[in-house]
Each structure stands twice: as structure tokens, then as C-alpha cells.
Amino acid sequence: MNGDEILERIRAIFQDNFGIEPARVTPEASLYEDLDLDSIDAVDLAIKLQEMTGRRIKPEEFKAVRTVGDVIGAVESLLAAQD
């Protein structure tokens, strides 16, 4: 799965779970300022990413995630760990 495919999956997660329009979900978008997620939403997002990748996300790693681009990077790291 490449970065564009991951972004499309993330956009679907944001739309289905948080009601956020896919056009707003860009790599530069801040999860908290631009997309109005709160800490509970971030936990929900981490769970959805775990389901998407089949890998457990360590909470300390996810704390550094601030933008959609960071989410894409985290997913890429999780997928790379599977190989």
C-alpha cells in the first residue's frame, strides 16, 4: 500500500467515523486544529488504524502524531514492520 492508497483509506475513516469531508483530509491538515479531533477521537483513530494494518500501535508512538501526514507515516511504519 503506497502513500496515496493510505491517504484514501484514512479519508474514508475520517468520513465514516468523524463526519469529516474527505477534501479536508490533506497531509498538511492538523488533526486537532484543522479537523477538530479531540483526545477520544484520537484513540478511536488509533483503533481504526490498528484494524486497517493488523498491527498494534504503541500509545507513545501515536502521541507524536499531529497531522494527517504523520498518520500516513505511522501507517507506513506499521506496514513496513510486517514485511
Confidence at residue 37, expressed as pLDDT on a 0 to 100 scale: 95
Pick from 36, 61, 38, 57: nearest CA to 47: 57
Q: What predicted TM-score, i.e. pTM, was given to this entire model?
A: 0.89
Dump pLDDT digits (tens) for 27-59: 999 999 999 999 899 999 999 999 999 988 887
Confidence at residue 82, expressed as pLDDT on a 0 to 100 scale: 63
Domains parsed from the chain with CATH numbers: 3-82 (1.10.1200.10)
Across 9-28, average pLDDT: 97
Pick from 55, 72, 71: nearest CA to 3: 72
